[in-house]
Amino acid sequence: MSDGNTDVPHPDAHMVAAAVGGRLPGRVPTEEYEACPVTHVVRMLGDKWTLLVLMLLAERAHRFNELHRRVDGISQRMLTRTLRALEDDGLVARTVFPTVPPGVEYELTERGRELLVPLSALADWVVRDRAA
Amino acid sequence: MSDGNTDVPHPDAHMVAAAVGGRLPGRVPTEEYEACPVTHVVRMLGDKWTLLVLMLLAERAHRFNELHRRVDGISQRMLTRTLRALEDDGLVARTVFPTVPPGVEYELTERGRELLVPLSALADWVVRDRAA
DNA sequence: CCGAATCCCTGATGATACTG
DNA sequence: CAGTATCATCAGGGATTCGG
């Protein structure tokens, strides 16, 4: 940061600049890279079950056990953690129904559906480009 | 095309279908999800240093030590591994110059530059959407 | 200069058992 | 049904050293 220039709007200005085609500094500080929101999102998408859960929720809203059944091999623990992470990022909404027994529904938020657009474009490129 | 049967052309047909808006099976087999090329690419992008290395190479070709200097905190080992992974996926090209001492240059391949398009779109959305 | 080989450690993930 | 708690495991990543 600050190579003589005074106006740096965000701590992650460089990554942001990079994202849109700008230049990176001679040396990119670890904190800056780690703090970058783009880094955060890409890391989260790279987590073991995130992509699949997102795809299923893109289809329609699901109950917890419904997801658990559709995702072969996932543990209850990891499904909970994955959903929680998505919820914390505002991509998924959690709704509790005070029935007996209680039911919990997960669905994509508006932001989650928006994310699907560039994400689908990426997936689309991979498919077109012929399996990596 | 579809006389009621549910056969699949590729092992990863489901994920491919999902990528473009299709439906996923009632239960997604682990092998299928793990074998999916989209899963592979997203996971790779999520690796600790991949994004930053890609951004730097998007700027211009770099020598090994040049990258090592620009990426704060990366170990020689991880830089090698990251570059090798990108090379194996055909995103980065490695060129050895038989000078003394030997020099190695890394640059994006055509495929690598193509990946930057959807990837930039994703980064762009993140930035616009307001830092995650 | 570039990178392989080795050792080690922490964080991510899995298995199982237990509650509101 | 939908989690939480706990313990075990494993892979990603870092430090160091050696070789072409």
Average pLDDT, chain A: 87
Query: In the structure, what pLDDT confidence band is assigned to residue A25 with cuts at 50, 70 and 90?
Result: confident
pLDDT score for B126: 94
> pLDDT digit string (tens) for B62-118?
999 999 999 999 999 999 999 999 999 999 999 999 888 889 999 999 999 999 999
Q: Which nucleotides in chain C lie less than 7 Å from some protein C-beta?
A: 1-6, 12-17, 20
Express each pLDDT in A65-100 by its tens digit. 999 999 999 999 999 999 999 999 999 999 999 888
Closest residue on chain A to B23 (Cα):
A59
pLDDT of A17 reads: 62
Residue type, A10: H
- Of the candidates B21, B33, B8, B13, the one whose C-alpha atom is nearest the C-alpha of residue A59 is B21
Residue B6, pLDDT above cutoff 70: no
* Partners of residue A129 in chain B, C-beta under 8 Å: 111, 114
Query: Nearest Cβ partner of A124 from B20, B26, B46?
Result: B20
A46 and B51 within 8 Å at the Cβ level: the answer is: no
Chain B residue with Cα closest to A111: B129
pLDDT at position A5: 45
Cα-Cα-Cα-Cα torsion B113, B78, A20, A3, nearest 10 degrees, comes to -130
Cα torsion angle, A113, B122, B72, A32, sign: negative
Domain with residues A25-131, CATH architecture: Orthogonal Bundle (1.10)
Would you kindly state where each structural domain of chain B is located, as residue ranges? 25-131
Cross-chain Cβ contact B42/A46 below 8 Å? yes
Rounded to two decimals, what is the model's pTM? 0.88
Identify whether the C-beta of residue B104 lies closer than 8 Å to the C-beta of residue B88.
no
Q: Phi and psi (nearest 5°) for B13? A: -55, -35
Is residue A20 over pLDDT 80? no
